[in-house]
């Protein structure tokens, strides 16, 4: 019998690694109020579209989000609404007009059982790679502090794999902090932009279809033993 994570994965919800950057890689977050407003928007839109935000980081000129959305067909609506709402706030705050994002957000479907934790570590190590902090959990605008310190608002939903780090919450937090210290070059290459459009097994990829610029679950009909997909 498939594990609970496997059963849930194949019933229609999908896990995505999402990234977007500022236009010309310029900063889109300049002050505490900017970060806080984007977090507020993300919390609101994820609730509206029934998406669970497991891991995230807001860097000065880009963001990463690892989320699971119950109906993947709503992902574009959710992210487009989020992006437009922040643009409106940004233009009003800084008395500017025009684009602030480099384009449409990029979304990478992730097979939960194989790559969830690897992607989580990649996302939360961003400030460490940028040498902005000495450890991931010390960065203010990411989910790392939620898992290590239990500190955060209502945005982050507990990663379904988090309980595997220990027998109690203190042990889980301590072991997760150690997990974030580990650097694996081959792991990080998987999540860089344009390297791998989909991360998962042949079975996982066969259950996806490329439609209107996004990978979505196949909903009807017999799934072939292997279905190719557009990269």
Please write the tens of the pLDDT for every residue from 104-130: 999 999 999 999 999 999 999 999 999
Distance, CA of 106 to CA of 98 (rounded, Å): 20
- Relative to beta strand 62-69, strand 51-59 is antiparallel
Q: What's the pLDDT score for residue 229? A: 37
Q: What's the pLDDT score for residue 194? A: 63
71: enclosing H helix or E strand: none
Query: For the chain, how far is it from start to end, CA to CA, in angstroms?
Result: 32
Which is more confident, 8 or 158? 158
**Average pLDDT estimate for 127-141:** 96
Q: What's the pLDDT score for residue 211? A: 86
DSSP 107: E
- Relative to beta strand 106-110, strand 51-59 is unpaired
Of 12-16, 176-180, 190-194, 219-223, minimum mean pLDDT range: 219-223
- Per the rule left: phi > 0, alpha: psi between -120 and 50, beta: everything else, 221 is left
Q: In what order do the strands lie in the sheet with 51-59?
A: 51-59, 62-69, 14-21, 106-110
Q: What's the pLDDT score for residue 93? A: 97
Q: What's the pLDDT score for residue 123? A: 97
Of 174-178, 193-197, 215-219, minimum mean pLDDT range: 193-197
The answer on pLDDT for 35 being more than 90 is: yes
**Average pLDDT estimate for 198-225:** 80
pLDDT band at 11 (very low <50, low <70, confident <90, very high): low
Per the listing, tokens 């008395």 go with: 95
DSSP 49: T
Q: What's the pLDDT score for residue 3? A: 39
Domain ranges of the chain: 4-214
Q: What percent of the chain has pLDDT over 70?
A: 88
Q: What is the mean pLDDT of the chain?
A: 89
Which is more confident, 152 or 184? 184
Q: How many helices (H) and strands (E) does the chain have?
A: 9, 6
Length of the chain equals: 231
- ∠ CA(109), CA(149), CA(29), 5° rounding? 60
Give the gyration radius of the chain's Cα atoms.
18
Q: What is the pTM of this model?
A: 0.88
Distance, CA of 230 to CA of 215 (rounded, Å): 9
The answer on pLDDT for 13 being more than 60 is: yes
Of 113-117, 134-138, 191-195, minimum mean pLDDT range: 191-195
Four-way CATH pick for 4-214: 1.10.3720.10, 3.40.50.2000, 3.30.420.10, 3.30.70.1290: 3.30.70.1290
Distance, CA of 157 to CA of 54 (rounded, Å): 5
Tell me the two tokens of residue 132.
Answer: 């902005």
Least Cα distance to 107 among 197, 210, 217 occurs for 197
**Average pLDDT estimate for 212-225:** 69
The answer on pLDDT for 52 being more than 70 is: yes
Is 62 within 8 Å of 20 (Cβ atoms)?
A: yes
Contacts of 67 (CB under 8 A, 6+ apart): 15, 16, 18, 46, 51, 52, 53, 54
- Relative to beta strand 214-217, strand 62-69 is unpaired
Report the 10 Å Cβ neighbour count for 61.
15
């Amino acid at each position: 019998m498939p594990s609970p994570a496997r059963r849930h994965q194949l019933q229609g919800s999908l896990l995505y690694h999402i990234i977007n950057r500022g236009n010309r890689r310029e900063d889109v977050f300049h002050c505490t109020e900017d970060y806080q407003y984007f977090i507020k928007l993300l919390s609101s839109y994820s609730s509206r579209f029934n998406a669970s935000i497991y891991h995230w980081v807001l860097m000065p000129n880009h963001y990463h989000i690892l989320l699971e959305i119950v109906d993947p067909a709503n992902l574009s609506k959710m992210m487009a609404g989020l992006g437009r709402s922040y643009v409106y706030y940004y233009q009003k705050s800084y008395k500017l007009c025009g684009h602030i994002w480099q384009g449409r957000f990029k979304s990478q479907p992730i097979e939960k059982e194989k790559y969830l934790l690897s992607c989580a570590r990649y996302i939360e190590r961003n400030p460490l790679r940028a040498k902005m902090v000495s450890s991931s959990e010390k960065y203010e605008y990411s989910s790392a502090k939620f898992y290590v310190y239990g500190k955060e608002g209502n945005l982050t939903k507990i990663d379904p794999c988090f309980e595997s780090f220990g027998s109690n919450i203190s042990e889980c937090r301590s072991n997760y902090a150690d997990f974030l210290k580990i650097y694996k070059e081959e792991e990080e290459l998987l999540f860089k932009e344009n390297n791998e459009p989909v991360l998962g097994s042949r079975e996982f990829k066969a259950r996806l279809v490329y439609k209107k610029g996004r990978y979505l679950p196949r909903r009807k009909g017999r799934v072939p033993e292997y279905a190719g997909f557009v990269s």
